[in-house]
Amino acid sequence: MTFTDSRQGPGTLTLGGTDFGVQATNVRLVPAVDETDGTPTLANPEPDPTTEAPKWTLEGTAIQDWSEPTGFIEYCRDNSGTSVAFAWVPNTDAGVTFSGNCVVKALEIGGDVASENTSDWSFRVVGQPSRVDA
């Protein structure tokens, strides 16, 4: 087996057809697996745990651009609660794209004085994300 150093950048992050990669300082797809104990019954008082398919989120950090009416912060505010298509290319040279649909949420605005403010975000992925290799 060989090892590939998979570093992010340069890449893209497209939400609803607009590339916000220039503002993203951190992007990741995060799975969450819910394991339950199952329901005990008279015939099977100790059932095997059941595992659901992972539920994914598209998460990251973005530099705030609250003065720009077409920037990431305003896009999220204007589209909060809306399911939009996303495509994330972690590194254009690697030829891998992760895509799907996610539900956008409004983000915090502001922060420390005299600092470059950022917003952390987490958008629920609808279904399972897909991977395409170029």
Q: Could you tell me the pLDDT band of residue 55, with boundaries at 50, 70 and 90?
A: very high
Specify the pLDDT at position 50: 66
Predicted model pTM: 0.85
List, as one string, the DSSP characters of the chain.
---------S-EEEETTEE-TTTEEEEEEEEE--EE-----SS-SSPPPEEPPPEEEEEEEEE--TT-TTSHHHHHHHTTT-EEEEEEES-TTTTEEEEEEEE--------STTS--EEEEEEEEEEEEEEEE-
Per-residue pLDDT tens over the stretch 72-105:
999 999 999 999 999 999 999 989 999 999 999 9
